[in-house]
Structure 1
Amino acid sequence: MDQQKTRQAPGLPAGAERLLAGPHTGVLTTLRRDGSAHLAPVRFSWDDEAGLIRVMTTGSRAKIRNIRANPDRPIAICQAVQFRWITFEGLATVSEDPERVAEGVRRYILRYAAPPPNLPGLVVIEIAVHHVMGIL
């Protein structure tokens, strides 16, 4: 029987790699200026070595405005598949740096077997994960 597992990142609880191997989406939670939650479905990749979640999006999205308005507030991303789930929490940065965006695209392709939409203003959200929990 699976039990709830919590540990510090980098590193994943046992069974997490299997859950993250499929082309599933997650729900990214950021905070609006008024403190209310903004939830957005996203595709993402996990970099175990760096302890980073990467999300590809465009710079005009509400999630980008929320991260930039609250750089010292942790955000979270949760992926659920049937009754198994994993949540990553940490501080996020937004980068337009071509090398960092390219790394985000590369990892996106590895996970989803296709590139992200080629939209103008593509940026990468990098979440420096400090907490991982889930039921795997």
Structure 2
Amino acid sequence: MELPDAAEAFLAGPHTATFTTLRPDGTPHVTPVRFTFDAATGTARVTTRAGARKARNVEAGGPAARVALCQADGFRWVTLEGRGSVSDDPVRLAEAVRRYAARYGAAPPTPPDLVVVEIAVDRVLSLNI
């Protein structure tokens, strides 16, 4: 996935984003998260608990689950949209934790039911980037 250098730099900074998933009744669930984005593969990652509403929403949506991450700073923002999936695979979790620590300077919380929501980004929107 090709992004302008300014967008990649913005997405590499230690910001938080809003993560939007859809509840089973179709209403949006929005929560602040820390995340990582790998532009080379077009993959965004959010670590969370398996029992968290966001993970349950993604799982309930099945393979068609659409999600969005929006990182904003003042009037600058980038939104990453795509299909989400939840994994507890140790290799995928280790990669998510490694990338998180590199971006934020510390490992994420590691509850016993840690999972990673992986987003296959297929749309990028931005303003003032």
* Deviation per residue, 1:46-93 (Å, 9 max, x gap): 011111000011101000110011121311000001110000000011
Unpaired runs of 5+ residues, structure 1, are: 1-9
Q: 1:10-48 deviations in whole A, cap 9, x for unaligned? A: 222341122122210000000001100000100000011
Letter of the 2:55 partner, please give it. I
SS for the counterpart of 1:15 is helix
Identity %: 51
Pairwise CA RMSD of aligned residues? 0.9
* Map of 1:106 onto structure 2: 98
- Determine if the alignment matches structure 1 residue 96 to structure 2 residue 88: yes
Q: What is the one-letter code of the residue matched to 1:68?
A: E
CA contact (8 A) 1:13 1:133 kept: no
Q: Which amino acid aligns with 2:66?
A: P
Q: RCO (CA 8 Å, sep 6+): is it higher in 1 or 2?
A: 1
Partner of 1:125: 117
Paired residue for 2:9, among 18, 27, 31?
18
Alpha-carbon distance between aligned partners in 1 of 2:93 and 2:2, rounded to the nearest angstrom: 23
Cα distance in 2 for partners of 1:18, 1:101 equals: 24
Higher helix share: 2
TM-score, scaled relative to structure 2: 0.95
User: What is the TM-score normalised by the length of structure 1?
Assistant: 0.90
Q: Distance in 1 between matches of 2:30 and 2:16?
A: 13
- Aligned positions, number: 127
Q: Distance in 2 between matches of 1:129 and 1:21?
A: 16
CA contact (8 A) 2:48 2:114 kept: yes
User: Residue in 2 aligned with 1:4?
Assistant: none
Q: Is the 8 A contact 1:19 1:81 kept in 2?
A: no
